[in-house]
Amino acid sequence: MRGALKPALIALCGVLASALSAGTPVHGQEDNRCGDLETTLQRQQCFQDSLKEVEGEISKLMVQLQQTYKSKKAERAAKELNDDAMRWNSFVSQHCAMLARRFDGGSEAAVAVKVCSLRLAVQRKDELKLLLADAAL
């Protein structure tokens, strides 16, 4: 069964690379480098590095949004942003854990979590950029 799941993970890496190439390139994804690495540990570390980069961008966007809301005296929006971030983090954790369970605790499960988390982080970053542009109006 585990051998059958490896092609699914490879496909997931390919989907991530395609999605990322459509938007802003993320470290390690310009040429699908992470998915092409030989070992599970190498792939996991590569996706983790990319995830850290995107999470840093998300943090900066969150600070910018908070500052924008404070300057507009939009306290409710600032609180909703924080509440939304907590709900988002919970969703990512649960969703990616569900995908990892498909790998029955095998070594590819950790890679699947990183790929899933990175894919969702890129989506979150893009949504926050749109929110920031809207808040600046």
**pLDDT, tens only, 21-68:** 444 444 344 446 788 888 989 999 999 999 999 999 999 999 999 999
How buried is 119 (Cβ within 10 angstroms: 0-12 exposed, 13-18 middle, 19+ buried)? buried
Percentage of residues in the chain with pLDDT exceeding 70?
77
Measured between alpha carbons, how far is residue 137 from residues 26, 53, 87, 127, 134 in Å? 28, 28, 26, 16, 6
CA-to-CA distance for 64 and 61, rounded, in angstroms? 5
Question: What's residue 23's pLDDT?
Answer: 43
Indicate the domain borders of the chain: 2-135
Per-residue pLDDT tens digits for 63-103: 999 999 888 888 888 889 999 999 999 999 999 999 999 98
The closest alpha carbon to 12, from 125, 107, 108, 124, belongs to: 108
Tokens 């939009």 label which residue? 74
CA-to-CA distance for 137 and 135, rounded, in angstroms? 5
* Token pair recorded at residue 39: 């070992």
Question: What's residue 34's pLDDT?
Answer: 87
